[in-house]
Amino acid sequence: MPTRTVAVAARTGLHARPAALFVKAAADQETPVRIRVGDGPAVPAASMLAVLSLGVGHGTEVTLEADGPGADAALDALAALLARDLDAEEPADA
């Protein structure tokens, strides 16, 4: 199963706006993606409640995993998103 490990760059971690952007991007992928912290259980990346329950802070390393068609592309896209400081970016509708 393909995986990607990335440190979360958003200053607030995966909370509020950065979490919402990540969850939406995960839901838009062709294949389901899961996210976990350390050796903890993997949760659906497309679930806001599940992602928030991880309590991911700035600099925390998370592992993304997926299996199936498009898994590598989905993981690459989501890892690149998490590696950006989403708090510093302007909202798309601004």
Task: Out of 2, 9, 11, 15, pick the active-site residue.
Answer: 15
CA distance 56 to 82: 11
DSSP 70: T
CA distance 52 to 14: 7
H-helix segments, the chain:
16-27, 48-53, 71-82
Q: Is 58 tagged catalytic? A: no
* Exposed / middle / buried, residue 47 (Cβ in 10 Å: 0-12, 13-18, 19+): middle
Residues assigned a catalytic role: 15
